[in-house]
Every structure is written in structure tokens, then in C-alpha cells.
Amino acid sequence: MLYAGFIHGSAYFGYFHLELFAIGLDPLELVLRSLRLATLPALAVLAVIVMTPRFPELLVTLRVPSAVIDRLVASYRFAARAHMLFVALGIAAMAAWRYIQPWGWLCPVLIATGLLLGELGPSRPGASSSWGRTVVLTAAALFVGWAIALAATSLGRLDAQRDAERSVLRVEVVVLSTERLSMAPGPAAPRAEDLGAGNHYRYRYSRLRLLVARDQRYYLLPVGWRHERDPTYVIQDDDSIRIELRPGVRRN
């Protein structure tokens, strides 16, 4: 879970031009991020991979009628005999990698399924030695880990794109400063105001939204932020800065 959370967080914050380690998320937060992968399709695929070696026993436990079990077991045995077809499909799909995104994680899933069917499926002549079985199962585990990484990366980026498009709904941030801050100009630049020399916090910057806050650092997005053109601002809260948090725009 920590691994999946790290991959998801790296993809998510990387979309906003940030390094995950620089932000300083703790392990618990990364584990909680991994729960984002617990979607119905992902859980279904994981359940199929885990239960593949015990498919016949599962049917008996569920008290499925024997006639249905016989047909399903026959299909299962056929799939086990044709396990290399799953591997071949996974390899073929990799050749079309750029055209199947964001479903690229299905490639290692197909390969891992084929390896498991071939090694843990119904017994057959010429079964692998203990060493050969260990190698195959290790390879299957690596492909499952790769699938998790691909799924976490894709989901992290999709989550970031969605949050960027709806950034106006996030918590509004107003930055008050005793000194003028260097904010990059552009279509989505913050609104800068000079409140006058008589004010301790003379400069005010608005039209900003909170991405995340850690260790007195505020990571801010200007309203209308775009990945390909706009910076993410990092503001260190100290004696020269005051941060005001306000509700973002709410949809009716």
C-alpha cells in the first residue's frame, strides 16, 4: 500500500511541477492515498488474479451446482492450457502502448494471469520443477507490481487533471506580505494589490487556491492554472507573510 501510495502521490504532485519528497508527506498519508486505487475494476482484477489457482475449490465452497461446476472447470482447464495466449496478448498490447493509454496496466495483468494459469492451473504432464516454479511466480509477482505502478500513475495524473480543472472550488488563499513578491506574469497570474505604505502588510495577492500545506509552506495554484504554462507557487509562512484561508467558489 505504501508503494502504491508513493506512485500515486508522485504522479499527482508531479503534474503540478512538485516533487513528492519535497512536500514531506508522511507514510500514513501515502497509505491513505493508495486507497484511491481501491476501485471496483481494480479489486475485481486483483480478486481474479488471487483466486485463479483456487478457482475449482471456490466453486465447491459457494455450492455451485455440479453441472455448472463441470462446465466452468472445463473452461478453466481450457484457459490453463491456452495460458500462453494471455502472455502473447499482453506482449502484443505492449507493442501498441501509446494507443491503449490509460489502460496500459492491462498488459502486465494479462501476462501475470497467463503465467499463473500456466504454473498454478490444473496439473499437467511436464510440470515445472520447484526452481522453475519459483522463477515463474517471481516473474508474475513483478508483473503484478508493474500493473499496480501503471494504474497508480495513471490514476494519480487523472486525479491531478480533474483537480486542476476544478481548482476554483478549492480553498481560496490570500497572501499578505510586507515585501513585494515576485509572481510570474501570465493569463492566470494572481491579483497583486499595493495597500499603501501605512500598512504593515503592504502587498496583497489573491486569486490563489490551496493545493496542499505542509510545515508552514503553502503550495498555491492561481485560478485558471494550466499544466503546460503556469507555475505552482510555494509560499513560506514567516513574520513577513500572513496567510488568509477563505471558502472557494461553491457550485449550486
Q: Give the model confidence (pLDDT) of 115-148 as tens digits.
A: 887 876 655 545 556 777 788 888 888 998 888 8
Among candidate residues 165, 198, 213, the one where a domain is terminated: 165
Among candidate residues 165, 195, 212, the one where a domain is terminated: 165
Q: How confident is the model at residue 50 (pLDDT cuts 50, 70, 90)?
A: low
Q: Provide the pLDDT for residue 212.
A: 92
Q: Provide the pLDDT for residue 222.
A: 92
Comparing 51 with 180, which gets the higher pLDDT?
180
Report the pLDDT averaged over residues 25-30: 80
Q: Provide the pLDDT for residue 250.
A: 56
CA torsion through residues 123, 124, 126, 128, sign: negative
The number of domains in the chain is 2
| Residue 229 domain boundaries | 167-246
Same domain, 123 and 50: yes
Same domain, 147 and 35: yes
pLDDT digits (tens, 9 = 90+) for 181-240: 988 777 788 999 999 988 999 999 999 999 999 888 999 999 989 999 899 999 998 889
pLDDT digits (tens, 9 = 90+) for 61-77: 777 788 887 787 787 77
Same domain, 119 and 208: no
